[in-house]
Amino acid sequence: MKRLFYFVRHGETRFNQEKRLQGHCDSPLSQTGIEQVKQLKKVLDQRYFDAVFASTSGRVRLTTDILLKNRSLSCTYLDDLQEPSFGIVEGDYFQDHRELKDCFEQFDWSFFHGDSFEKTKERIQRVFKEILSKTKEDDRILVVSHGTMMQMVEKVLLGMEVLAYRKHCHQQGKSAIPNAGILIFSYEDGHYSLVQAPVSPYEINLEPEEKTIHFYYVRHGQTLFNQQKKVMGQSDSPLTEKGIEQARIVQRKLSRIPFRKAYSSFAKRAIDTTKIILEGRDVPISIEKDLQQLDFGDLEGQSRMKVNDEMNDCHEHGEDFRSHQGERKEDLLVRFDRLLKKMVLEAKDGDSILLVSHGTYYTILIDRYAGLNRKLLQYQQAKLGEKESYHGGIALFEWKNQQFQLKQLMKKGSDFREEK
Give the residue from 274, 239, 255, 272 showing the smallest Cα distance to 354. 274
| Chain CA centroid to CA 131, Å | 20
First CA to last CA across the chain, in angstroms?
25
CB of 291 closer than 8 Å to CB of 274: no
Which residue type does 332 have? Answer: L
Q: Which residues are annotated as a binding site for substrate?
A: 219-226, 269
CB of 192 closer than 8 Å to CB of 185: yes
Distances (CA, A) of 155 to 107, 126, 166: 10, 15, 12
Q: Which residues are annotated as a binding site?
A: 219-226, 269
Q: Which residues of 131-158 are buried (b: 16+ CB within 10 A; e: fewer)?
A: beeebeeebbbbbbbbbbbbbbbbbbbb
Helices (H), 83-154: 100-106, 117-133, 147-152
Read off the DSSP letter of residue 230: B
- Give the span between the Cα atoms of 177 and 148, in whole angstroms: 8
Which residue type does 260 have? Answer: R
